[in-house]
Each structure stands twice: as C-alpha cells, then as structure tokens.
Amino acid sequence: MVRLGFLIGLIALIGVMLSGFAAYRVHDQELAVDSMALARAIDVHASLVQDRLTERELLSRVASGLFRAPAVPKANMLEPLRSAIYAFKTDFVISSWIARLKPTELGIAEAELKAAGFTAPAIRDFDDQPREANAADGSVDVLMDIEPRSQDRLGLPGRTYDRHSVIGPMLARAAETGKPVASDPLPLLRRTGPVGLVLASPITREGSAELAGFITFSYELAPLMLTNDDRSLFSVALKVDADDEYVANEQGVVSLRALKQGDPPPSLMRTITFGGRDWSLSYYSKKNVVARAQQTAIIVAAIGLALTGIVCGLFGYVAHNTLRLSREIQVRIGFERRLTAVIDELNHRVKNILAVIQSIVTRTLRHGADIDASRELLIGRIHAMSNVITLLSESQWQGVKLKGLLESRAIPNADRIVVNGPDISVSARAAQSLSLLFFELASHSDEGLSVVGRHPHIVVTWEVTGEEADLVFHFRWEEFNTSATTRRQDSDFGLILLDRVAPEAMGGTAKRYFTETSYVYELTAPMETVIDMTERDRTEQFTVPVRQP
C-alpha cells in the first residue's frame, strides 16, 4: 500500500508539474500571439491612415499645381478646379481659396465677393466681427471662394484669417516653407462643429516668387484616424501633448480628453506625417491580453490536473499546439489560393482598364485639338471611368445597378434627365462601356435649352423583352427641344464610342438620328452579354470569404 501510494503520489506530482509547465507555455504563447496580432493590426491601421493622409496631401499639391493666381482679387477661383478636386473622391469638408491681399485691395475684394453672389461680402474678422481696412498694418488673408457651396456656407467668404489663433500660424508657416502645412485640430465651420484639420498649400503668382494666397482643404478628424471600426482590436487616439489627446466615441464624435495620473498607458504608439509635421497615434487594446492569456492557462492547468497523468497532460499540451498550427496552415493555404485568384483577376482587369484609358487619352488629345476643351473632356471621361470602378469595387465586381450610372456624380447634366426602366444589374464590362456612353451623350447635350414646366428635357428608357433564353436589352436616349443645327456636335471619340465601341462591347447594334423635335440614340443588345454570367461566376469564386476550419 505504501509503495502504491508512493507511486500514485509520484504520478500525481509528475502530472501537476507537467500541467503547470503546459499552463505556463500556453500562457506565454497566447500572450505572444495576441500581442503580435494587436501589433500587426496596429501597423496595418497606421499604414492605412498614412495612405489616406498622403492621398489628401497629394490632392492639395495637384490643386495648387493647377491653380492660376489672378493679378487682382477674384472670386469663383475654384470653379476651374471643381472636376479635378472631385475626381480624387476624398472626404474633405470644405475647400477654399484664401487670397493674401494688401490693405488697398480689400475694397476690390469686397466688390468681387458681392458680384459673385456671396451673402456676406463685407471684409470682416474670422469671428464675423467688423474689421476696418485701415486697421491692417500688413497683408490680410481673405477667404474668397469655397467648395462645395451650400446656403449655410455662402456667408463664409469675406472672413479674414491672419489673426486666427490656429489658422493664422498655419498660413504663416505655409508661406514660409512654400509647402503644404496642416493646422492643429480645431472645430470646423463653427465653434460647435466637428473637430478636424485644415491643410493649406501656398500659391505664388506665375513667373514670380510673390505669394498670392492659399488653397485649403479641411477634413474631419475621425475619418482621417479611421476610428469607426467596431470590430477592431483597439481604439485609437491622437496625442496632442503630454496631458491631452483626441478620442472618438461610438458615433464618431471627436473630443479632447485630459490624461490623468494613473490612467492605463497606450498599448502601442505610431508616428505618421501629414502637412509637414509628425503626429502621434496612441492605440489602446480593447481587451485585456494578459487576463485572456491567464484564463487560457488556467483552463489548460485544470485539464491537466483533472487527468492527473503525464500522458494526458502531455497529450493536451501537444494537441493544443498541433491544432493551432493546423488551423494557421489551413487558413494560410486558403488565403494564398484566394490571393492568387484575386491577383490574376486584378491583372486582367487592370490591363483592360489601362487599355480603355489609353484609348480615351489618345482620342481626346488628338493632334490639333483645343487643349482646354480636350482637358475638360479628358477629366470628365476619366471621372466617368473612376465612378464606375468605384461602383464595381463596392459590389466586389459583381455588377452595378444601371440607374447608378446615371447619377449626378457620374455624368454632367444629370438633373435634366428622367429615367424609366427596370432596376437591373449589368456586368463590369458592360458598365464601363455604358458609363462612357452616358457621359458622351450627356456632355454633348444642349444645356441652354429650357423645357416646359419642371420636367427634364432628356428622357432615358430601357426595357428587356423576349423569352427567358433570348432576352433582349433595348436602350433609348432622347433629347427634346434640339435639332441637328442646334445640338452640340459629338467628338470623334464620342462618335466611335456611340456607333462602334459600345455596341460591339455588348454584342449589339446602335443607331442615332434626329426627329422633328429631338435627338435619339438607341442601343439593342442580348441580355446574356449585358449581364455576362461567366464574368459574375468567376468573380464570385474569389470574393467568397476564406472559411476557418
């Protein structure tokens, strides 16, 4: 009995020791894996934030490169840039032109603002308080134009910002460095507005080093920081100084939080650059990694003690690690297969898109074409391609709704178009052809002709006829109150697109003609090419999420 008890005690001691060892290893592995996952997610997030900031800084540089500073104070200076700045599709709150004026030019600027239709053209301080022209002892930074315009923003031009506590130093630094400069966080549009940043790019007069003013873009802070992901492993805050940081709540509202002694430190910190300065992002883990590792270790130890044996304890430890390794291998294999399919499909589609863009550029910028008109057409056509690619990306390239290609963000003069037809989805190839087709038709319509009542003077209809196996797509575009002598002439590229490219892409036919009161374009194609089920089936194969075993 004594010998048996000693043997049982020895086995129990060995089981306890092995269970404790297994629990210790599991604790370290869980802690290491969770820490690595958190660090990897934070690195990805910081990289995405940096990419978003770089895109917005690139928009500022492009806009400043396209801007032509006037010799005298002018309003409506952002009008020529509207297509360019919206082509980037960045989420800026407001874009503005701030002119640096001499005190003697303030009267001219006020007259320009009044003539441009702004509701408060008087030159005044940033807080809407009166500002005397003779009180300025140097250059004055005056807001002369805004984009986008709305009724509540038409009263902003006329304000001066050289004495603003945040924007003033930012403009001074941008003028000094000659590069885009970002401001400190501040409320946008009004004192109770959303917290954001302002990026200012200095503009010099052509052929001179003299500063003419600044193009600015303001952005809300929450989207820039990507704070709206409820499924992320962490929350992010923008550190201002040693005592304060900006945080966002579940609704995306950003506020300033004072740091107190005893508050938990951030799990990790990352530095990003934007507007000529460095910004620190503090990351706080949403779960207690140490507590989770301890809980897992306790479970393993309990299992080992319950089994009270070296074989069971060792089996549990080995099985735990083997299962984890097996899952990681299977997920990695599935991910690599899916990634290979995505890359192959992406290469195919990028080549097609680049070929289309090359054709657009070649046809638009043909020899002898007017450069200004060609530039507007080129920007519009590329914008139409960008819009349809965005719609396809949102649907994971499984087709887009036909009505979405006729929205105001996709084509000009959309407010004068009435649409009638079933809400069908078209394939990626058909969507690209139809998007360019709609842009060409809309951009050459007669803008100056009015219509009776409030009805648009362009009517777009489509229908699907035939039996299930032989469905036919019929599309009709009709512009009323126009004729062959009054309608704007189609470009060479437009004629090729209308008569040959679009019909051939969908395996159909097209015709255009004038009636006594209208211009008509008709397109007929089989539905099997408009929908392209082969393309949709291929796309669904690589959009299916990788399932964990």
Residue 483 pLDDT: 79
Residue 114 pLDDT: 92
Confidence of residue 51 (pLDDT cuts 50, 70, 90): very high
Range from 217-226, 295-304, 369-378, 481-490 carrying the lowest mean pLDDT: 369-378
Residue 208 pLDDT: 81
pLDDT at residue 342 greater than cutoff 70: no
Neighbours of 489 (CB within 10 A): 8
More confident residue, 526 or 360: 526
Task: Summarize the confidence of residues 358-373 as an average pLDDT.
Answer: 63
For 184, residues 6+ apart whose C-beta sits below 8 A from its C-beta are: 166, 170, 197, 240
Task: Give the architecture (CATH level 2) of 1-308.
Answer: 2-Layer Sandwich (3.30)
Q: Give the containing element (helix H, strand E) for 545.
A: none
Calculate what percentage of the chain has a pLDDT beyond 70: 79
147 token code pair: 């984009």
Strand 417-420: give its sheet, edge to edge. 417-420, 458-465, 472-480, 518-526, 509-514
More confident residue, 280 or 226: 280
Range from 205-209, 396-400, 519-523 carrying the lowest mean pLDDT: 396-400
Question: What's the pLDDT tens digit per position in 450-489?
Answer: 444 444 578 999 999 988 778 899 999 998 878 777 777 7
Q: Tokens 């970002």 label which residue?
A: 182
Residue 448 pLDDT: 45
For 226, residues 6+ apart whose C-beta sits below 8 A from its C-beta are: 45, 48, 49, 52, 236
pLDDT at residue 156 greater than cutoff 80: yes
Residue 128 pLDDT: 87
More confident residue, 474 or 191: 474
Rounded to whole angstroms, the Cα distance separating 219 from 197 reads 5
Confidence of residue 313 (pLDDT cuts 50, 70, 90): low
Q: What angle do CA 131, 132, 133 make, to 5 degrees?
A: 115
pLDDT at residue 311 greater than cutoff 80: no
Mean pLDDT rounded to a whole number for the chain: 80
Question: What's the pLDDT tens digit per position in 67-124?
Answer: 888 888 888 888 888 888 888 777 889 999 999 998 888 889 999 999 988 999 999 9
Rounded to whole angstroms, the Cα distance separating 356 from 429 reads 11
Residue 374 pLDDT: 66
Domains 1-308 and 344-536 equal at CATH topology level: no
Residue 373 pLDDT: 66
Residue 450 pLDDT: 43
Neighbours of 287 (CB within 10 A): 11
CA atoms within 13 A on the CB side of 152: 4
Topology annotation, domain 344-536: Heat Shock Protein 90 (3.30.565)
Out of 176-185, 360-369, 475-484, the most confident range is 176-185
Dihedrals phi, psi of 329, to nearest 5 degrees: -65, -45
Residue 27 pLDDT: 76
Residue 546 pLDDT: 47
If you compute the radius of gyration of the chain from its CA atoms, what whole number of angstroms results? 32
Task: Summarize the confidence of residues 125-133 as an average pLDDT.
Answer: 82
Q: Tokens 């319509």 label which residue?
A: 445
CA distances from 405 to 376, 472, 535 (A): 20, 20, 19
**Domain ranges for the chain:** 1-308, 344-536
Rounded to whole angstroms, the Cα distance separating 546 from 337 reads 10
